[in-house]
Amino acid sequence: MGIIINPKELESVQKFLKEELNYCGCASSAALEVLYKTLLFASEMPNSPSKLNKLEYFPWGWGEWFIYFLESKNLLWHGFNNIDLGINDLGQQLLEGLENFYEDLGLDLSILNDIADDYLKIGMLQHALRSIDKFQVKFPQESIGFFTKSEILFAMEQYNEALESIEKSIELENTEEKQILKKSILKKIESN
């Protein structure tokens, strides 16, 4: 029988991280963030590596070795030349465990805002919206969440919703960048 991670048991997730991935609790939160983002992108994004390269997510070469390592642990699969990438059952179990116990593991889920922004940059707007909605559940009063959501809604041409979101963001923290976006949204509403 192969390795199984119970994503509903913290000890199971920690054991896998330590015994199979040699993860040490003394590592910075960035270590788990890279793992989390990679598993998430592999689960949601067809042809992940080429899109991750567009985002400059991995330094040249390093990302390929990381993908090969995760594949050797049966978390991911990849096709020819690392062009296709997907998540295996074990990787899905680990991803769920990371999401279930992010606080206990020291994983900062504020990266969901960054992930939403990444999806926005490559035009995966529904994915971006799902990610920012998850962020806002965890961090309901963060100005950046409303700002990112307004950018996504603007790209989706949902201008009234974008305006509502940017106004909430400005209420929490007013910046020049937010005022510029608000003016762009208002211009689109007026021209429709």
Last residue of a domain, one of 77, 108, 139: 108
Contact 178, 147 (CB under 8 A): yes
Same domain for 133 and 50: no
How far are the Cα atoms of 7, 132, 133 from residue 182, in angstroms, in the given order? 41, 19, 20
What pTM does this model have?
0.82
* Phi, psi at 86, each rounded to 5°: -145, 170
Domain tally, the chain: 2
Contact 93, 85 (CB under 8 A): no
Last residue of a domain, one of 108, 131, 156: 108
At 129 the pLDDT is 97
What amino acid is encoded at 62 in this protein?
W
User: What CATH number does residue 150 fall under?
Assistant: 1.25.40.10
At 64 the pLDDT is 75
Same domain for 182 and 95: no
Last residue of a domain, one of 89, 108, 127: 108
Same domain for 148 and 125: yes
- List the domain range (segments joined by +) for residue 90: 1-108
Same domain for 117 and 74: no
- pLDDT, block means (10 residues), the chain with 192 residues: 88 96 88 90 72 61 80 86 76 96 92 92 91 94 97 97 97 96 96 86
At 9 the pLDDT is 98
